[in-house]
């Protein structure tokens, strides 16, 4: 291995860390959040997400079947009939900025931060 | 591009080897660890092609493998994802080899990353949602062990090929 190989490895790890923490910090300021579900680019479900949100949403169209469950504010893809099952094995999500994607069925489940968690909101 | 019979046979062998590696990879699922991740075993052949063939010939090996695999076992969308990832990886790896900026192991890691980014770009277009890049940091980290594995294997295989097979 050349010296540059180690430089590449370190840069890649740094880039991963920067993107990860950047995303975390950018989404930290939100106190309220929304869960949104998109099917083929269209918004099909939207709800305020709190620790007491419970819901089940099923997408069953020509692209396939997906069952999304919200259990005490934690969103997960419970079932899907896609071939790769990547979405079903994805980690459950509960924080702004997180998402679950079922690529073969073009389904995106994402959590967006809504209200800002700082003084500006109060003064407004 | 002038291809003699020996070259043509070599390209054919490389494509079939890449297809077999692609098949083996399907039997080892790793996308439970990181969504969408894979080992990238077929990249061993792309890497070796870039070192022993010209860039154009290596492109032929890559596109040949992807088209045949997609027509046999995949779908239109798998063709799209494989091509976008594969071509971006080919260009990045080819450039780093040309300018001799890293060893085969570093080139392999960069190839793995380029492949991920190429696929995420197409995925973002397909689902019209940029949020898919949420997976990028995990994929970047995962590209290091897989890139090391593929790079080391390629290095050993390349040494063997150079000692035993006449290319031109």
Structural domain for B134, as ranges: 5-164
pLDDT band per the 50, 70, 90 thresholds, residue A43: very high
Q: Are B108 and B89 in contact (CB under 8 A)?
A: no
What pTM value is reported for the model? 0.87
The token pair that represents A56 in the structure block: 């089940």
- Please tell me if residue A30 touches chain B, with a CB cutoff of 8 Å: no
Q: Choose the closest CB to B144 out of A12, A87, A108.
A: A12
3-state secondary structure chain A: CCHHHHHHHHHHHHHHHHHHHHHHHHHHCECCEEEEEEECCEEEEEEEECCCCCEEEEEEECCEEEEEEEECCEEEEEEECCCCCHHHHCCCECCCCCEEEECCCCEEEEEEECCECCHHHHHC
| Contacting B residues, span 37-76, partner chain A, CB-CB under 8 Å | none
Q: Are B40 and B139 in contact (CB under 8 A)?
A: no
Question: Do A101 and B32 count as a contact with CB atoms less than 8 A apart?
Answer: no
HSE (side-chain half, CA atoms, 13 Å) at B149 = 12
Question: Do B140 and A2 count as a contact with CB atoms less than 8 A apart?
Answer: no
pLDDT band per the 50, 70, 90 thresholds, residue A118: low
pLDDT 10s digits, A57-108:
999 988 899 999 999 999 999 999 988 888 898 889 998 888 999 988 999 9
pLDDT 10s digits, B144-160:
999 999 999 999 999 99
Specify the CATH number for the domain of residue B36.
1.10.1760.20
| Distance (Å, whole) CA B14 – CA B104 | 18
The candidate with the shortest Cα–Cα distance to B111, out of B17, B10, B40, is: B40
pLDDT 10s digits, B10-52:
999 999 999 999 889 888 878 777 877 889 999 999 999 999 9
**Mutation site, B107, B127, B144, interface A, largest A CB count within 10 A:** B127
Question: Do B109 and A9 count as a contact with CB atoms less than 8 A apart?
Answer: yes
Report the number of distinct structural domains present in chain B. Answer: 1
What ipTM is given for this predicted complex? Answer: 0.85
Q: Give Cα separations from B55 to B51, B106, B164 (angstroms).
A: 9, 18, 22
Question: Do A19 and B106 count as a contact with CB atoms less than 8 A apart?
Answer: no
Which residues in chain B are contacts of A86 at CB distance < 8 A?
Answer: 31, 35-36
pLDDT band per the 50, 70, 90 thresholds, residue A123: very low
**Residue where the block lists tokens 């660890």:** B33
pLDDT 10s digits, B127-139:
888 888 888 999 9
Q: What is the CA radius of gyration of chain A?
A: 18
**Mutation site, B78, B113, B134, interface A, largest A CB count within 10 A:** B134
């Amino acid at each position: 291995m050349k010296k540059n190989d180690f430089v590449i490895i370190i840069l890649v790890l740094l880039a991963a860390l920067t993107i990860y923490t950047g995303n975390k910090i950018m989404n930290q300021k939100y106190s309220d959040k929304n869960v949104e579900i998109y099917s083929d680019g269209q918004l099909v479900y939207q709800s305020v997400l709190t620790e007491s949100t419970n819901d089940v949403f099923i997408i069953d169209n020509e692209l396939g079947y997906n069952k999304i469950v919200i259990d005490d504010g934690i969103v997960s893809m419970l079932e899907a009939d896609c071939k790769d099952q990547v979405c079903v094995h994805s980690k459950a999500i509960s924080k702004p900025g997180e998402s679950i994607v079922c690529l073969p069925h073009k389904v995106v489940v994402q959590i967006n931060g809504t209200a800002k968690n700082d003084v500006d909101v109060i003064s407004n | 591009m002038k291809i003699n019979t020996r070259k043509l046979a070599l390209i054919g062998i490389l494509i079939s080897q890449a297809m077999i590696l692609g098949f083996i990879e399907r039997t080892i699922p790793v996308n439970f660890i990181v969504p969408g991740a894979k080992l990238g075993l077929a990249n061993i052949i792309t890497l070796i092609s870039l070192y022993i063939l010209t860039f154009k010939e290596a492109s032929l090996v890559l596109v040949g493998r992807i088209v045949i695999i997609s027509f046999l076992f995949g779908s239109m969308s798998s063709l799209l994802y494989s091509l976008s990832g594969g071509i971006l990886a080919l260009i990045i790896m080819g450039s780093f080899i040309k300018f001799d900026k890293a060893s085969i192991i570093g080139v392999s890691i960069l190839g793995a990353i380029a492949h991920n980014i190429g696929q995420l770009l197409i995925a973002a277009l397909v689902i019209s949602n940029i949020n898919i890049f949420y997976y990028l940091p995990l994929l970047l980290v995962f590209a290091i062990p897989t890139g090391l594995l593929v790079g080391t294997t390629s290095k050993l295989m390349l040494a063997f090929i150079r000692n035993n097979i006449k290319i031109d």
